[in-house]
Structure 1
């Protein structure tokens, strides 16, 4: 991992030595050769596991850290877009003709997807998203929950399922 993260830096390619005449000469550094061997093994593993489409994004890169960084950057920008789309879905999803169970499952699914992208939605925020997606026939339910804001997400979902049956 240190090679991928860039924290395992290469040692100098050459080292200074003094010959018998006390003349300074540079010789290849065996530590550098060992580092290059490890780095290129990782590069080979990465390149062999990438699709052809992905290979074009890392073409010409030599070291594991730069390849890994390029891949991370590519997926990071896609993740930012995905997070934005999921947040939009949380805001804009309405219950409409879904059953309450379908609606709750869908909204919790969005929250789970965000958590996977390390953008957690806390329970109170998810409760608000769920309540905002309910139509006018749920005004009484929403008013009751607004009076008791300490209701847990689990309790709110149970109450919402019961309310639907009325």
Structure 2
């Protein structure tokens, strides 16, 4: 006689084992919520990936405020605190180490979430868009399997879509067209202009194309004046 399966049928057994594995993942404080780690420039794709991961684990309410904090004297407080600290651990593990250290003393997962949003959520994303478009343009197969090349390209396309979602709004499209001209102009500059390029891209608001051109021309003149000054300083003095 065959030994009786303690979990019931094979299908039922598979479901039980799956639920057990899921439970182990849900209580592991060392888990990352996403392969995308938060840095100073990728808040949007990071926040979306983290929100999806928390939603899939029924924990989104801890950061969006829909799960209220019980009173400290309530019998449910300890259970809430345990889960909230678990969510905090997941969030911190989904950041680069230097950022995790900054936010590690947050009072709760919702406070941590709001602080990160205030610090990085309203920043100008021009620098990241510029880098993505540059990376996409420079992407080559270089002997890699096609599926790997396609995966890299789709990943960058998806992140770019996060910063630039599809729209038919005329003013938005005109703004993007001018941004693309600025990106193309900046990417064509010599390496000696790297600091200036970074300064322009990290502005709270990306300047107009005309303003960028004026800034580059002023920098070029400044460099020429400095070079002339250096030449005069080192030129041999004529004795009278």
TM-score, with normalisation over the residues of structure 1?
A: 0.43
Bigger fraction of residues in strand: 1
Radius of gyration: which is bigger? 1
